[in-house]
Amino acid sequence: QKEVEQNSGPLSVPEGAIASLNCTYSDRVSQSFFWYRQYSGKSPELIMSIYSNGDKEDGRFTAQLNKASQYVSLLIRDSQPSDSATYLCAVNRYGQNFVFGPGTRLSVLP
């Protein structure tokens, strides 16, 4: 089992819809969770970080964490074509380095 897994994608949603990106992780003592957006040919850009169970909202983005289920998700409301990118989930625990998932490619169709 891979340490961090994500939807294989590509995920296609129409403009204005909610995009839901999922990530599961295997290390039960993981403490910190991050979502990065990466446009083609560019470097990853941090969108959200979440450390506690529940929801965290920032503009159109909501991160959801459920440590019991070892699951973290990212919801993008009112999706725009400019949201089309690969979304990387990263997980770590104290004293350890990030473990990245393979990424989910999102395509928002006008």
Counting contacts by CB under 8 A, is residue 55 touching another protein?
A: no
* DSSP three-state, residue 81: helix
Q: What is the distance between the terminal CA atoms of the chain, rounded to a whole angstrom? A: 36
Counting contacts by CB under 8 A, is residue 88 touching another protein?
A: yes
Exposed e or buried b per residue across 22-33, where buried means at least 16 C-beta atoms within 10 angstroms of its C-beta: bbbbeeeebeeb
Stretch that binds another protein, among 16-24, 43-51, 56-64, 68-76 (CB under 8 A): 43-51
Strand partners, 59: none
Give the nearer residue to another protein in terms of CB position, either 54 or 95. Answer: 95
Counting contacts by CB under 8 A, is residue 34 touching another protein?
A: yes
Q: Which residues bind another protein (CB under 8 A)?
A: 31-32, 34, 36, 41-46, 49, 51, 88, 90, 92-98, 100-103
